[in-house]
Amino acid sequence: MRTRKSHLLLVYLTLNLIAFCGMFVQAAHQRSASQAVLQRNRTLVRQLGLTDLCLFTDARYTRHPAMADLHTPFQDYPMSFEHFPSGSLMPPPPHLRSHGAH
């Protein structure tokens, strides 16, 4: 008996579907396992009075995208190079990418 290519495709798709469903099962298991850690983090944020997310600590315009100043990355001069590595990892906020629309 010869194996048809369509049978191989069906086996491949079935295995991928099983793996895909397994990711959801694993995510649900991981979420229930991490509830204690999330609760400790919520308590810590409440006790310390933390206000907002801090993505990077090196430059003030990369700490939080919503709090970016318009001209801070170019504080030396408009064509200056980015000297913080996190500036290349984080795109500008959407309100800064609009072309002249305020």
pLDDT per position as a tens digit, 30-75: 988 899 888 988 898 888 887 766 666 666 656 665 665 655 555 6
Say what the pLDDT of residue 13 is: 98
Answer yes or no: is 55 within a domain. Answer: no
- Give me the domain span that covers residue 10: 5-48
Answer yes or no: is 54 within a domain. Answer: no
The residue that leads in pLDDT, 74 or 84, is: 84
CA–CA dist 102, 91 (Å, integer):
19
Answer yes or no: is 44 within a domain. Answer: yes
Number of structural domains found in the chain: 2
Answer yes or no: is 14 within a domain. Answer: yes
Contacts 24+ apart (CB under 8 A), 39-45: none
Say what the pLDDT of residue 84 is: 66
Contacts of 89 (CB under 8 A, 6+ apart): 56
Whether the per-residue pLDDT at 2 is higher than 90: the answer is no
Q: Tell me: do 13 and 38 sit in the same domain.
A: yes
Measuring CA to CA, how many Å separate 7 from each of 3, 17, 19? 7, 15, 18
Answer yes or no: is 70 within a domain. Answer: yes
Answer yes or no: is 69 within a domain. Answer: yes
Q: Residue 33 corresponds to which tokens in the numbers above? A: 């396992």
CA–CA dist 29, 61 (Å, integer):
37
Using CB atoms within 10 Å of the CB of residue 73, give its burial: 0 to 12 exposed, 13 to 18 middle, 19+ buried.
buried
Q: What is the pTM of this model?
A: 0.41
